[in-house]
Every structure is written in C-alpha cells, then in structure tokens.
Chain A
C-alpha cells in the first residue's frame, strides 16, 4: 500500500449529514494536509495539521491527527451539495530540499440534496 491512503474510497450522504473521511500514511511526517478537487479542476487546499497537533478546526471542517497510528480524519459537518468533490490527504515529509507532498488516491464524496 502507498503513503496517504484514504478510506472509504467513495462516500454518499444526504445533505445536512456529517461526512467522515480517513487517511493513513506510512512514514514520519511534518504535517498532513487535506485538499479538495472538484471534477475537472485543480486542487484547493483545505486545512493543514502539524505533527505536534492533535485536532484542528476551520469552519465546518475538523481534522484530527494520530501520529501513533499514522492516521488522520477529516470531518465535514452539516454537509451541503456543494461539498460534492474528491478529497485527498497529503503528507508532507522529508527534510530540506527533499521535502514533498505525497498524496493518497482520494475519496469521492457525493452529497445528495
């Protein structure tokens, strides 16, 4: 398996429900980031959590990080149809010039109106 794997691979929920997406990674990281990608578009940065943080909030987003389990979760509360997109976690690891983002395969979220 590769760095930054998300689960589930696809999630379908009703508008107003919460969506929880999980991500696992393999090597040590400096931080973990979540991005959103609408169909046919580029990625939009959502939130970054550092390796010494356990939880972070931004609007309707809540992200947690468990470095002992090498996992993170993204919670979107009170989902909206406009949240329909693919969501990727990306781990930032390495040092100096070799630092890079490693992306997972993504989770496709469908929010039914």
Chain B
C-alpha cells in the first residue's frame, strides 16, 4: 500500500515561471491537505480539498496560488509567477475522510526559486 506520493521531489524555477506540484493521496483517501514549510519553521496550512471541491483555502495566498483535486488524477498545487519568497518545502497530506484527524504526509516537494 503506497503512501502519499509527491512529485517532483525537487523543483527549481526562475522568478516569473510557474511551478506545478503534484500529490497522489494514499489509496482510499479522498481528502487532501497542502502545507508550506519555510526553513526552520513549522508547517503552515494552505488548503484542504476533497475530490473536485475546495473545502478550506483560508491559508492560501489570494494571488498566484491555486489548488485542485480533480475526479481523476493527483491533486495539483499551482504557483504562478513565482518569487523568491515562494522557496519552501510543500507537503501534501491525505486522510480517509472528514473527522479523521490523523493525516499521512508525503515526502514533500522542495521548491527553489532563483
């Protein structure tokens, strides 16, 4: 039973480019969470999605960031026109359902913006 998978593991972008981060939840999990971790910091909640629905995006910047979790395929976190301050580790977690408080984390994508 594969765990949460994220790709790419490392991503380098120049300022102004787009970054696409993918997350495949654990089998049977329909809830996905995205977090951002800055160096020497804890994880900050960004967005919570279920299949085809954004449930809570209160932690996501209003500009340039978007997330989706389509009926088929992985969840995507998209950052347009990246800036240096977007450099961070982005983690995805999944859970089997609402009210299931334990989340299972992927290995993360390290984004570096040059």
Binding site for B on A (CB under 8 A): 4, 30-31, 33, 35, 40-45, 48, 88, 90, 92, 96-106
B74 interface residue per 8 A CB criterion = no
A98, B104: Cα distance in complex, Å? 18
In the assembled complex, 27 residue pairs joining A and B whose CB atoms fall closer than 8 Å, in A order, are A31-B101, A33-B101, A35-B105, A41-B108, A42-B91, A42-B105, A42-B107, A42-B108, A43-B93, A43-B105, A44-B105, A45-B102, A45-B104, A48-B101, A90-B43, A92-B101, A100-B33, A100-B45, A100-B48, A100-B56, A100-B59, A101-B33, A103-B43, A104-B42, A105-B40, A105-B41, A106-B42
Number of B positions contacting A (CB below 8 A): 27
B44 interface residue per 8 A CB criterion = yes
| A101-B103, A104-B42 given; 13 more Cβ-contact pairs under 8 Å | A33-B102, A35-B105, A41-B107, A43-B105, A45-B103, A48-B102, A99-B98, A100-B48, A100-B59, A103-B35, A103-B42, A103-B43, A105-B41
Q: Which of A43, A92, A97, A104 contacts B55 (CB 8 A)?
A: A97
Within B57-113, the residues touching A (CB, 8 Å) are 58-59, 91, 93, 98-99, 101-108, 110
| Contact A102–B45 (Cβ < 8 Å) | yes
Binding site for A on B (CB under 8 A): 4, 33, 35, 40-45, 48, 55-56, 58-59, 91, 93, 98-99, 101-108, 110
A90, B48: Cα distance in complex, Å? 16
| Contact A96–B98 (Cβ < 8 Å) | yes
Q: Which of B43, B48, B98 contacts A43 (CB 8 A)?
A: B43
A90, B110: Cα distance in complex, Å? 22
